[in-house]
Chains A and B, each alone.
Chain A
């Protein structure tokens, strides 16, 4: 079958589906949907349909990015738009079948939004919702829309037309097109993709490799997982285009073992490509032949670094080596190798499908195109988004992400994972691109954005990132292995109230040495979280060191829980709930916290009835409380008679 025939069949299949006289129901069933219970919905829906003797098409799609309200389903009745419903429990799914499919009430009160032709009264357009409206979905163009396990769905939506176009061009012209688009590597550094290809294409040798880096491991990052689960062919088409331009006959996808569903979908996608002649010898009748294999990681973060990754593909310990030589000169098995990130490859296929000019129409002068971000942490709408570069942090966090939950105040956003930094409120109006983030002391990174609120201690966050680096350092070079350990020790001291004034200079000095002396990006950038928190939240370090106080009330060694004697009504709830048996008291007696036993879990604060509000959490101050339980003072009397004499006699 020629590709034209394949395509026209795929298009007819898609049109038949869209124009079907049956109701179509799609369930978002990526890992995030599944974790929220999506798989249980298939059964419930099928059963309910069978009960009513209704025939419908029930299928699965990937994730559209609205992870905070999953499971998500859409229902399209013949000739009507798709209506999306969120937070769908099995009971709600059954209800919706009953109400909409059977009784034709689309339940606008429950609907989230609609897509496709036609409108339904009372239901907004899905892509007009605040989380979706500012987005430009290029790498994620099909995620949540097509069945990722059906290659025909991809082909019907222009899939592999980019490859067809590329095969009709000279390999170097394909590279030029990518160069012209301004696309930069989406794995972190933003290095111009077309230029990187050129190095590899021009490198001497007949045997060359391309690699797709799917080892995503930055805490807070799940863009690549979602993309591979939602639209694997978009990535695979990009890899083929790159291989053709570079002159590579073989490629690998290196994917972490933590992503079993993505691995399964990739395997399936590759077998479908083979069936259609999109892999193997003389692809689509051209001179281009290509073989693609999946290589599974085994749980080592540093393997995301390109030289470590190649060592791991070769079956060795995944340890980085110095560059140069760069992979383009000497990579996998010593051959010229080009390695790009999952999102980069998916953008490549879009660029070949729609043109460099179209792509470079998005973004800023310095950073073209779009970037995906994973929103996590203390943010209302967690999920996956794709936006034009140049959008501000504020638009992302407050406009798209809905701001901070529980009425709390924004404190910082961490971009770039363990190599990145924490940016404060004063930088919320910063337009996001590679340059601005670097100037602010952070990096774009792969796209994780971890939002923190007023209850997060920035010293603790810096400490936490160094624990991560320590954990994941491969141990090969001394500055990374020992330098980060020393920094971590200092930060541990500071968060435990044992910090010394000279620690800040020490941290800065160590940061410089580690940055200059480490072999790979893991070590070189490990100090960034510390440096940015020192730069923007220096006062928090000062408070910990000088006043032994944690302003965010987060560092357990620096906080104390007290029960206020004038508020305690002796109800005993805290005493019963305390997991550490650290509360003394009895009926109608003022309860007290035994500070020696207290594990600072905060249970007492959570369970103390709001009308009493007797438990407080403080840092850097002492509150007068009786030394042992005493009868409560009747509620009416003011605070004045709280017995001053019974100040705790710890001293």
Chain B
């Protein structure tokens, strides 16, 4: 196993920072297509496997096309203790898909995630960059209406 950064030069390393490049590519096209991954690998002189390895490690990077809005419901303990399950059910009913899926019209992707640091308002979820807390199944439909 190689030691961190053994023998590399930070300056050149930074420009080649794969995670940053992947984050940028994702924010441009919403996800990391096979083609994007192949192109990145080519330009950095890495194998497709290496790039794919980084892309698939991080849950905020997606190798599947994402919806215009990403719903992330927290499934960690403090939210679980406050009935997050009913919120997951509620969203499932509202948009008709399961966690891990994207609606056919591309409006929503639906994910479960670990703690988003909004436990004081559990159960909580993020829609894109917005945090919504103290959720009840009743509130869901109104919240989601704002995301087109």
Contacts and interface: CB of A to CB of B under 8 A. Distances in A.
Interface of A: 31-32, 34-36, 67-68, 207, 216-222, 225, 257-261, 296-301, 307, 310-312, 314-318, 321, 325, 330-335, 374-378, 382-384, 414, 448, 450, 452, 456, 461, 464-465, 468, 471-472, 474
B23 A296 contact: yes
Nearest to A325: B3
Most interface-central of A207, A259, A318, A376 (chain B CB within 10 A): A376
B4 A67 contact: no
Interface of B: 1, 3-10, 13, 16-23, 53-54, 57-61, 76-78, 80-82, 113-122, 124, 126, 129-134
Contacts of B53: 317
Contacts of A220: 76-78, 115, 119
5 contacts: A34-B131, A219-B77, A220-B115, A296-B23, A317-B57
B58 A298 contact: yes
A36 B121 contact: yes
B133 A35 contact: yes
Nearest to B6: A334
A495 to B, nearest CB: 13
Contact of A452 (B21, B81, B133): B81
Nearest to A223: B117
A291 to B, nearest CB: 11
Nearest to A250: B10
Given A221-B117, A374-B119, A376-B119, 4 more contacts: A220-B115, A258-B117, A297-B60, A315-B18
B57 A219 contact: no
Nearest to B78: A376
A321 B1 contact: yes
A35 B61 contact: no
Contact of B13 (A259, A318, A333): A333
Contact of B78 (A301, A310, A312, A377): A377
Nearest to A599: B89
Contacts of B59: 298-300
Contact of B5 (A299, A334, A474): A334
Contact of B120 (A32, A318, A332, A333): A32
Given A32-B120, A222-B119, A378-B81, A299 B60 contact: yes
Nearest to B79: A219
A314 B7 CA distance: 13
Contact of A298 (B16, B19, B117, B133): B19
Nearest to B4: A310
A35 B121 contact: yes
Nearest to B132: A35
Contacts of B124: 35
Contacts of B60: 257, 297-299
Given A298-B59, A334-B5, A376 B20 contact: no
Contacts of B17: 314-315
A307 B1 CA distance: 14
A97 B38 CA distance: 59
B13 A314 contact: yes
Q: What 5 A-B pairs have minimum CB-CB distances, sorted nearest first? A: A333-B5, A219-B76, A298-B58, A299-B59, A67-B120
Contact of B115 (A36, A218, A315): A218
Contacts of A317: 53-54, 57
Nearest to B16: A315
A632 B54 CA distance: 65
A377 B113 CA distance: 18
B54 A316 contact: yes
A36 B134 contact: yes
Given A217-B114, A219-B77, A315-B13, A376 B5 contact: no
Nearest to A474: B57
Nearest to B9: A333
A414 B78 CA distance: 10
A580 to B, nearest CB: 12
A314 B16 CA distance: 9
A216 to B, nearest CB: 6
A394 B27 CA distance: 47
Contacts of A207: 10
A259 to B, nearest CB: 7
Most interface-central of A67, A299, A301 (chain B CB within 10 A): A299
Contacts of B21: 315
A321 B77 contact: no
Contact of A376 (B1, B22, B120): B120
A331 B4 contact: yes
Contacts of B5: 314, 332-335
Contacts of A383: 120
A219 B58 contact: no
B4 A222 contact: no
Most interface-central of B18, B78, B116, B126 (chain A CB within 10 A): B78
A450 B3 CA distance: 37
B120 A330 contact: no
A472 B81 CA distance: 20
A315 B76 contact: no
Contacts of A257: 60
B131 A219 contact: no
Given A68-B120, A298-B19, A314-B13, A217 B81 contact: no
Contact of A32 (B78, B80, B114, B133): B133
A472 B54 contact: no
A378 B23 CA distance: 37
Contact of A260 (B19, B121, B129): B129
Contact of A334 (B3, B116, B129): B3
Given A307-B4, A314-B4, A221 B115 contact: yes
Given A35-B132, A299-B60, A67 B81 contact: no
A474 B58 CA distance: 10
A381 B5 CA distance: 46
A26 B102 CA distance: 40
B117 A259 contact: yes
A457 to B, nearest CB: 11
A258 B133 CA distance: 14
A465 B80 CA distance: 11
Given A220-B76, A468-B76, A32 B118 contact: yes
A334 B7 contact: yes
B12 to A, nearest CB: 11
B13 A382 contact: no
Contacts of A465: 77
A155 B8 CA distance: 39
A121 B41 CA distance: 69
A496 to B, nearest CB: 17
Given A32-B120, A299-B60, A317-B53, A450 B81 contact: yes
Contacts of A260: 129
Given A35-B132, A317-B54, A383-B120, A311 B4 contact: yes
A260 B114 CA distance: 16
Contacts of A315: 13, 16-21, 54
A464 B77 contact: yes
Given A67-B120, A258-B117, A316 B18 contact: yes
A260 B129 CA distance: 6
A600 B21 CA distance: 47
Contacts of B7: 334
Contacts of A216: 117
